[in-house]
Structure 1
């Protein structure tokens, strides 16, 4: 499928690995110029080299903590300096946080809100004027199925996911007249380092019988148990959805949260 994004400029946050990297790779394969952003400069540099190895690839990186007040401006300025436009924004930065209300600290709330929600709001607000000027834009916000089917074991993450879904819908209604479409993806269990680092330890604590299993085995067991399709998702599968929502082929889907969870309503 020709996505019609050749020559478009895309910004992807949290793009040094996992889903963000897969999204950036999908854009590069379809001829878009891509700006990748993440905190870890070494991993980001590695990602830029890998993405840039494709013939004709146009990729630049910017090391930034998206929760910083000036990050949105820094990232957007990098896109404009490198490629002269900003057509597509994928807000992917963030991670899962295991724990309920009573076990989550104020620091947990502050960190998660800053990375997942506040940064998204700032990135959208900074990017949209450039999309309005062009009369065309696409924004994809990474959310979770927990924003639709909350699980108290992931209290902070799922409260914020619900807020992301609401932000997505509200923003879509505000900017539809400008030719800008805004959607979210409600992600289920996807096998990434982020998931292994942040979710698997909590699963082990809750399921002592899994103590001797490897991380991959834990993810496989939980996915087979809770996901109707019987497995965890792959980053490239989420990237394919993000690419379509970000493309010229999508002209009528906006304000939606697309569930990408293998049919599951929980993953822990």
Structure 2
């Protein structure tokens, strides 16, 4: 399927690995110019180098902490210098945080809010005027199925996911007349390094019977138990959906949070 986004300019945050990297790769494969952003410079440069080897690739990068107040403007400036004004924005920066209300600190709340919600709001505000000027734009915000089906074991993440879903709907209504479509993806359990670092230790701690399993076996066991398709998601599963939502083939879907969870309403 031709997605109709040849020569469009895309920004993908949190794109040095995992879901963000897979989305950037999918967009590049559809002839889009892509600016990738992430905090870790070494991983980001490696990602840019690998993506740059794709046929016809046009990719640039910027190492930036999206929680910084000037991050959105820096990302937009780099995009303009590299490729021109953005048509597509994928807000993927963030991570999961395990724990309930009573075990989460004020620092946890501030950090997670900054990286998941505040940075997203700032990126949208910075990018939308360029899309309005063009009369075309697509925004995809990465959320979680926990924004729809909250799990108290992931209290902060799922409260913020619900806020992301609301931000997505509100912005979609605000800019629909400008031919800017805004959607979120409610992600389930996807096998990434991020998920392994932030979720597997919590699963081991709370499931002593699984503690001795390898990471791969533990993920397989949890997926078999919680996910109807009986496997964890792959980053490419999310990237395919994101690319469609970002594309010219999508002309009518906006304001939605689309579940991509293998049919699951929880993943631990």
Secondary structure of the residue aligned to 2:259 is strand
2: CA distance, partners of 1:194 / 1:84 = 31
Q: Which residue of 2 aligns with 1:72?
A: 72
Secondary structure of the residue aligned to 1:255 is coil
Q: CA-to-partner distance for each residue in 1:205-237, whole Å, 9 max, x for gaps?
A: 110011111111111110110000000000001
* Structure 1 residue 90 corresponds to structure 2 residue 61: no
2: CA distance, partners of 1:225 / 1:8 = 41
Secondary structure of the residue aligned to 1:169 is helix
* Structure 1 residue 199 corresponds to structure 2 residue 189: no
Q: CA-to-partner distance for each residue in 1:232-254, whole Å, 9 max, x for gaps?
A: 00000100000000000000000
2: CA distance, partners of 1:102 / 1:150 = 16
1: CA distance, partners of 2:255 / 2:73 = 25
1: CA distance, partners of 2:217 / 2:6 = 39
- Unaligned 5+ residue runs, structure 1? none
Q: Which residue of 2 aligns with 1:215?
A: 215
CA apart distance, 1:55: 2.5
- Unaligned 5+ residue runs, structure 2? none
Q: Which residue of 2 aligns with 1:121?
A: 121
Q: Which residue of 1 aligns with 2:23?
A: 23
1: CA distance, partners of 2:191 / 2:221 = 12
Secondary structure of the residue aligned to 1:183 is strand
CA apart distance, 1:56: 1.5
Give the alignment of 1:104-119 within 5 angstroms. 104-119=104-119
Secondary structure of the residue aligned to 2:67 is coil
Q: Which residue of 2 aligns with 1:135?
A: 135
* Structure 1 residue 168 corresponds to structure 2 residue 163: no
TM-score scaled to structure 2, two decimals? Answer: 0.99
1: CA distance, partners of 2:97 / 2:236 = 23
Q: Which residue of 2 aligns with 1:178?
A: 178
CA apart distance, 1:65: 0.3
Secondary structure of the residue aligned to 2:44 is helix
CA RMSD of aligned residues (A): 0.4
Count of paired positions: 268
1: CA distance, partners of 2:55 / 2:18 = 22
2: CA distance, partners of 1:132 / 1:80 = 16
* Structure 1 residue 44 corresponds to structure 2 residue 44: yes
TM-score scaled to structure 1, two decimals? Answer: 0.99
2: CA distance, partners of 1:226 / 1:264 = 6
1: CA distance, partners of 2:211 / 2:205 = 8
